[in-house]
Structure 1
Amino acid sequence: MAGGKAGPRRRPMTLAEAGPGTENERLGVIRLSMFENPLIIKHEVGKPLRNCYSLPGLDFTYGMYVHKRDGGVAEAIGHWDSIKPRKSLGPGKKVMPRDFLTMDRGAVKAGCTTAREFGLYYKFMDIRLKDENRFLSWVPKIPDMTFGRPARPSTPIYDIIQHRYKEMWMERQRARTRVQKIEKKKLDQVRGNRTTYLRTHPPPVKEESFWHPARFEKAEPHLSTFPDPEAREKALSASH
């Protein structure tokens, strides 16, 4: 350690380093997996932490070894590896990809049906995409205008100051609430049936009439306990 800071992690511990008197001394059977578990291995005093991952040996070289070109420092000093320039088609020209949509459309019109016929059509009718300048694609094609974008509409500052947009939004919300209430009323209405109709329109009560034999319908009573007919009618009306 230098300056109170631990150095980089060291390689995994070996059996020779876990000898008697060390922090990681083991009794009994010692397995290599013990030195790969960070929960089992103990920290060494005054030394950086161990890397518990199994790594290749010291003679291992990381990266890809190229047998033809890897000559070491001598080749790097004595040879300058330069990149050969590509062949250009001319100023402002580049190879565009094929336009398969146009070629497929033409092949179908020509009567091609198999893969071989399509391949031959691609070979003899090599159609490429057009090189369109994407920086000038937004420019409107107006005869009396050379360059520039159309001006956006002016900001309605008076509507903003008067909170016009807020009022419009509130009106839309009120209309939406009214429509929701109407729809809710339609859903809350219950279709009437015979039971609900009878509750609101009860049938008239029939007066009870006791049964009397036919021969006694015109018979007059033998006793009259009322003093006069008016008292009799008054008593009968009170009972009903």
Structure 2
Amino acid sequence: MSEAKSPRQDLMRWKKQPVRRTVSQICPPPRRPLTVADIQPGMENERLGVVRDSMFQNPLIVKAELGKPRERSYRLPGVNFNYGLYIRGLDGGVPEAIGHWNVFKQQPPCPHELTRNYIAMNREAVRACLVTAPENLLYRQLNDIRISDQDDRRVKKEPPSLPPDMTFGIRSRPSTPFFDLLQNRYQQLWVQEQKATQRAIKLEKKHKVGPHLDTFPTEADRQRAFKAHREECAVRQGTLRMGNYTHP
């Protein structure tokens, strides 16, 4: 006498089982490339002379057979294959979505590596009469002094206190005065600045510089020298600067 099946077993039998795909189905293996043994007489890739298997593995050399697409040495999956990452969802419907919540477990904190106390290690190395770089390196490897957590928190700079009404970012520039733009006010100001600059340059050029060196002790000596220069003026004239009396 056959045993009576429970309604739970019937439900499990008719319930749709989740589809599980293997790695080979998601990422199919590459297709085996052509070899010399696969080449038959009359094919497009038939060659004369020395033929190697590497000649049929280069996609730039391999020709497409007549009436067939060019092979790329890969096999495409079936029609029912979905490209991308396969995500297994929950099929419990609305009750499971409302009554279940995925909570990530908190990971234990990783141990914090303490900072090296170079000041203490250098001080102890000097007390041990170790002053060279190799000696200090060996001393630090043997006597590794670290700063405790409390000292490390004290050494680190605390963030500066900011006012509560501080605004971060760049200040917005003032609004453009359209009235000045319509009147060409900026052009007039530029022309005035250029005229003022040119006027200052002209005044500097016309400024007379006084004498920096006075070679005459008195004013009488100056006048006497000018008088002698005027008397000798006739002698220094002429073509050869030897006087006018040298002309024929």
TM-score by length of 1: 0.36
TM-score by length of 2: 0.35
Q: Which has the larger radius of gyration?
A: 1
